[in-house]
Amino acid sequence: TTDRLGNKNSACYLNGKNAYVELPLSELYNFGRDDQFTLSAWIAPDAGNSWPAQALLVKSPFDFDFTVSQWTYGLYLLNYKGMSGFAYRAILNSKTTINSKNCWFNLTVTYQKGKWRMFINGTEEDNAIKQPEYVNNNVKAKLAIGRKGASRGDWYKGKIDEVLLY
């Protein structure tokens, strides 16, 4: 689809039902509690998705019941607000509602040794220090864009561009 700069065929459109991008297993995606990383994506979600939690970039193992699959880390929309953290914990929650399909939003989360920070369009929306809680380093979990890792659920519906993990 068209990206945030108006370039045709330069971004992904995910349908909220079965479209996603799964990255191959890699040591590069395995983070521990003493590591640091950043997750970032430009998004333009469609209104009316039936999933209250929409996975943007999530690392999670497979489970037949996706609701019990403990996600390792991720970038989510929860009721059209930014959300991030790990396992069953939603550590960060944005104040800004992200719901316009005619406007792009940048959602970024940083993690460094237990400190989490969330930004929307460059403005810090939330932060937390959570130790001894830390990132669950599950080497068998898969990283996906548009769904909850290897589990079939939390489908994202809308445009997504410039997904970054570093």
CA dist list (Å): 91 to 99, 123, 130, 134: 21, 17, 8, 11
Across the chain, mean pLDDT equals 88
| pLDDT exceeds cutoff 80 at 82 | yes
Give the pLDDT mean for 70-76.
86
Looking at 2-6, 76-80, 82-86, which range is the least confident one?
Answer: 82-86
Which is more confidently placed, 133 or 18? 18
Query: Is 116 in contact with 91 (CB distance < 8 Å)?
Result: yes
The two structure tokens encoding residue 19 = 């479209």
Give the pLDDT mean for 13-19.
96
The whole-number pLDDT of residue 14 equals 97
Neighbouring C-beta atoms of residue 139, cutoff 10 Å:
11
What SS3 class is residue 32?
Answer: coil
The whole-number pLDDT of residue 132 equals 47
| pLDDT exceeds cutoff 50 at 45 | yes
